[in-house]
């Protein structure tokens, strides 16, 4: 039986730990210290590191952890990942014998140009691409790539659990409510998120279904979102991609 735990790191990162009684795999260990503390206090051996992209807040703990556990490090083939032993791209699978797990790899460029996600039995580990009620900034890839990656994730089954790498949900909901004040699901989501945060609990995982109902970056074709983007821009967007580009720029300055 597996469980998934959130290990907070830095200000707002989560290192997701997938574990059984003996072994653990860690997604995006940006900092070794909080993970080491957790593994040692739970008596777990780390059998794999799964990186989604190369940013320091996701890979910063790799070498220290590899030194201690000699574990393989998986990551995107298109990026430099410290200590990487298994470069991956879409269509490949990750087999973790100690945990009896097989994960699928998806290419989701945009935040970085080689960004990948891991999908395991209806659970999506998507790094800095899809966030609770938001999406990552477009640093290295193109807006077209980011939009296509988000559409790809939104086409996954609605009950897919979304484990993203940052606790940004509440701030994202504030922006979403500005964009789509008529969306009642956002009011409900904000209340739930505030209650969780008050109890120092993660607002994650969310689900693809909840993101489709509330995340403006997955809703560029919904008329209230589209019209809001149009009002915010000097020239009217011609399609959903252009509305997405306006929203992403608006959020950067929000």
The reply to whether 115 belongs to the active site is no
The candidate with the shortest Cα–Cα distance to 232, out of 241, 214, 219, 245, is: 245
Burial class (CB in 10 A: 0-12, 13-18, 19+), 75: buried
The reply to whether 58 belongs to the active site is yes
Residues in contact with Fe ion, counted by CB under 5 A, come to a total of: 2
Rule CB under 5 A: say whether 55 interacts with Zn ion: yes
Which of 54, 111, 115, 147 is an active site residue? 111
Spatial contact of 243 and 147, defined as CB atoms under 8 Å apart: no
Rule CB under 5 A: say whether 140 interacts with Fe ion: no
Nearest distance in Å: CB 166, Zn ion: 8
* 104, interface contact from Fe ion, Zn ion, none, CB < 5-8 Å by kind: none
Rule CB under 5 A: say whether 57 interacts with Fe ion: yes
Among 28, 107, 128, 242, binds Zn ion (CB under 5 A): 128
Residues 111-130 binding Fe ion (CB under 5 A) are: 128
Spatial contact of 84 and 73, defined as CB atoms under 8 Å apart: yes
Query: CA torsion, points 247, 249, 252, 254, in degrees to nearest 10?
Result: -60
Spatial contact of 16 and 163, defined as CB atoms under 8 Å apart: yes
Nearest distance in Å: CB 239, Zn ion: 27
Rule CB under 5 A: say whether 28 interacts with Zn ion: no
The reply to whether 111 belongs to the active site is yes
The candidate with the shortest Cα–Cα distance to 118, out of 76, 158, 154, is: 76
List of residues contacting Fe ion (CB under 5 A) = 57, 128
Q: Which of the residues are catalytic?
A: 53, 55, 57-58, 111, 128, 166
Interaction site with Zn ion (CB under 5 A): 55, 128
């Amino acid at each position: 039986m597996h469980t998934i735990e959130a290990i907070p790191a830095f200000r707002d990162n989560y290192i997701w730990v997938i574990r059984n009684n003996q072994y653990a795999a860690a997604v995006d260990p940006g900092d070794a210290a909080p993970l080491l503390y957790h593994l040692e206090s739970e008596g777990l051996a780390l059998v794999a590191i799964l990186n989604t992209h190369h940013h320091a807040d996701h890979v910063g703990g790799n070498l220290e952890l590899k030194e201690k556990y000699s574990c393989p490090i998986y990551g995107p083939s298109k990026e430099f990942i410290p200590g990487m032993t298994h470069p991956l791209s879409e269509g490949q699978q990750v087999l973790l014998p100690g945990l009896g797990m097989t994960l699928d790899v998806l290419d989701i460029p945009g935040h970085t140009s080689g960004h990948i996600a891991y999908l395991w039995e209806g659970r999506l580990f998507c790094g800095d691409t899809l966030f609770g009620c938001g999406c990552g900034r477009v640093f290295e890839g193109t807006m077209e790539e980011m939009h296509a990656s988000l559409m790809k994730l939104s086409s996954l089954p609605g009950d897919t659990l979304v484990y993203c790498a940052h606790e940004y949900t509440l701030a994202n909901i504030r922006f979403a409510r500005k964009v789509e004040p008529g969306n009642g699901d956002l009011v409900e989501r904000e209340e739930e998120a505030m209650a969780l945060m008050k109890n120092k609990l993660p607002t994650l995982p969310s689900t693809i279904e909840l993101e489709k109902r509330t995340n403006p970056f997955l809703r560029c074709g919904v008329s209230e979102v589209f019209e809001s983007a149009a009002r915010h821009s000097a020239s009217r967007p011609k399609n959903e991609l252009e509305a997405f580009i306006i929203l992403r720029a608006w959020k950067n300055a929000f």
